[in-house]
Amino acid sequence: MTTTERRLYQFPLSLYCEKTCWNLDCKGLPWQAVNLMPGPHIPVAWWLARQRTLPILRDGKMCIGDSTAIALYLEKHYPQHALLPQDAALRREVLALEEYFDDIGDHVRRSVWSLAVDSPEVSRIFFHGYAAQQQRLGELMRPLLRLMIRCTFDVWPKQVEASWQRVEDGLALVESRLRNTGSGYLAGDRFTLADLTAASMLAPLIGPPGSPWPDDRVGIEPGPGREQFRARDAGRWILAMYARHRQPVIS
Ligand SMILES: N[C@@H](CCC(=O)N[C@@H](CS)C(=O)NCC(=O)O)C(=O)O
């Protein structure tokens, strides 16, 4: 299948879209990104997959929405470079971790947007990766963009405070799993969907090279916040997962 037959409808800065990009690259599958504008994406997403959120993968005649459903679809139809173990108990463990970290992604997104939503750079950060014309439009709709980010991701003080706690819980779970397995991976002794999900969901906190959020790309100075996350075991592990496993696999 060619890239034009496999398309990923996405927001370039979205952590759930990054999870699916990584998943496709891991499988060595060629694909093409279609970057949608927030707002106008809604009728397109509904038309494609009867849902509101991205990512949505179009694979030939199939349209699959939701990064977890996409991961399961890819595992079934493209078993090469398997991300789910054969062993039933280990597979359940991986799927449970995937579900947990998928949920943590929501809290990471709220927490990091709370730091960037009022920045004068907000539209440049959000529209990085879009065509020049879309970027200009994004600049014009800056106040609307801020409101959309706050309302869509619930970026309000009480929710943000609770989310930072959940982010801390997620980082602590990575650290305790690594101590338990001793293998450098969250479950078993090799890279699985659990590692891919945890690393991509937590990566916006530290911006590893190869992710959509390195310092120079989102325009955040490497300040004490990111340095603090990078210095702890979970942060070092996320950087290692990106360095070791984020390259496209040539099949
Ligand atoms: N659980 C979903 C979450 C997807 C999601 O929240 N996507 C966000 C972008 S990060 C989105 O499309 N938001 C737009 C909206 O809600 O209108 C998944 O794994 O795909």
CB-based contact 64:73 (threshold 8 Å): yes
Assess contact for 239 and 211: CB atoms under 8 A.
no
Containing structural domain, residue 31:
3-77
| Whether residue 109 sits in one domain with residue 47 | no
Q: Give the CATH number of the domain where residue 43 resides.
A: 3.40.30.10
Could you tell me if 196 and 19 are in contact, meaning their C-beta atoms sit under 8 angstroms apart? yes
Considering the domain architecture, whether residues 110 and 8 belong to the same structural domain is answered as no
Q: Say if residue 11 is in the same domain as residue 113.
A: no
Distance 152 CA to ligand 1 centre (A): 9
* 223 and 112 within one domain: yes
Between 120 and 64, residue with greater pLDDT: 64
Q: Is residue 186 part of a domain?
A: yes
- Percent of the chain's residues with pLDDT above 70: 94
Last residue in a domain, options 25, 56, 77: 77
The tens digit of pLDDT for each residue in 200-237 reads 999 999 999 999 998 877 766 555 689 999 999 999 99
SS3 124: helix
Same domain? For 113 and 189 the reply is: yes
Are 12 and 101 in a shared domain?
Answer: no
Q: Which of 19, 51, 77 is the last residue of a domain?
A: 77
Ligand 1 close to Cβ of residue 11 (< 6 A) = yes
Cβ neighbours for 61, distance < 8 A, ≥ 6 positions apart: none
**Burial 164-178, CB ≥16 within 10 A → b, else e:** eebbeebbebbeebb
Q: Strands (DSSP E) along 14-140, which ranges?
A: 32-35, 56-59, 62-65
Express each pLDDT in 176-201 by its tens digit: 999 999 999 999 999 999 999 999 99
Closest residue CA from atom 20 of ligand 1: 66
Instruction: State the average pLDDT for the chain.
Output: 93
**Ligand 1: does its nearest atom lie under 6 Å from the Cβ of 163?**
no
Distance CA 123, CA 146 (A): 8
* Tens digits of residue pLDDT in 162-179: 999 999 999 999 999 999
